Amino acid sequence: MQTEKEIAELEARFAFGKNWQRFINLLDDDRIASAEGSLRNMLEVSDLKGKRFLDVGSGSGLFSLVARNLGASVHSFDYDSASMECAQELKRRYWILDDNWRIQKGDVLDNSYLESLGVFDLVYSWGVLHHTGNMWQALNNVGLLVSKNGQLFIAIYNDQRWLSEYWKKIKRLYNKGFAGQIVVVLTHAPYFLFRQSVRRLFLKTKRRPRGMDPWRDILDWLGGYPFEVARPEAILAFFRARGFVLEKMRTVDGRHGCNEFLFRKAGNIRVY
């Protein structure tokens, strides 16, 4: 049973959807191409024809759009109504009247909702499950949505021990109200902006690899709460016990950010 303090903390959620609404105003063909490249590269495929793709916590809807463009039939859902509306807006722009892209408001912790969905060849949940308030339950739940021999692509914040605890406090402060936001942004955003400028200058990287926007990403990082983290080996052990085999992994090399995992469901799930 959750304490009053825990409940109050969970209610202090970051408004992801509002951030995504601003992002989709910036969406252009270049960003869509970057997002598509990143997905094809991780999956090592040229298209997703004939695949059932589930986007859990679809955010802006960009990766649902990309999956649909690559030929998959897509189901997107997000907990945040404004995020869901972003996906609907992208569907209106690019796939209006299409029956193979469904969008709903849904919660990855809501088992009866998940049961209504069935199973998918590819379950995608990038940067979502650590923001649910119950990451291990959410991880378990996405595993149940993968068909036999299907794939699971997840990205989960790296555990940096005391540093992750520090970020948790910062994110909590950000979500306490306007004053908290100002303090957090003024004390932390300049560091990230500086890092980005240096990277742009020396590495000549113009675009973020997943088609994202630097400023929206900074706000997502500073405010993204609830916030949990996991070490890569904990994620591997968790899914191995559930009959998954790791196909590919990309870590952030001990830094902050998301480790990416691509699993394949090899057998029946053994642990519930």
Ligand X SMILES: C[S@@+](CC[C@H](N)C(=O)[O-])C[C@H]1O[C@@H](n2cnc3c(N)ncnc32)[C@H](O)[C@@H]1O
Instruction: Please tell me whether residue 34 binds ligand X under the rule CB under 6 A.
Output: no
Residue 108 or 139 having the CB closest to ligand X: 108
Confirm or reject binding of residue 220 to ligand X (CB under 6 A): yes
16 binds ligand X (CB under 6 A): yes
- The edge-to-edge listing of strands for the beta sheet with 244-250 is 101-105, 73-78, 52-56, 120-126, 146-157, 258-265, 244-250
The contact pattern for ligand X, residues 72-111, with x = CB under 6 A and - = no contact, is: ------xxx--x-----------------------xxx--
Nearer to ligand X, 73 or 141 (CB): 141
132 binds ligand X (CB under 6 A): yes
Residue 155's contacts (CB-CB under 8 Å, 6 or more residues apart) are 125, 126, 127, 258, 259, 260, 261
Left (φ > 0), alpha (ψ -120 to 50) or beta: where does 52 sit? Answer: beta
Nearer to ligand X, 129 or 243 (CB): 129
Per the listing, tokens 């902006």 go with 193
Q: Which span sits near ligand X by CB under 6 A: 26-34, 53-61, 231-239, 261-269?
A: 53-61
Residues lying near ligand X in the complex (CB under 6 A) are found at 16, 57-60, 63, 78-80, 83, 107-109, 126-128, 131-132, 220, 224
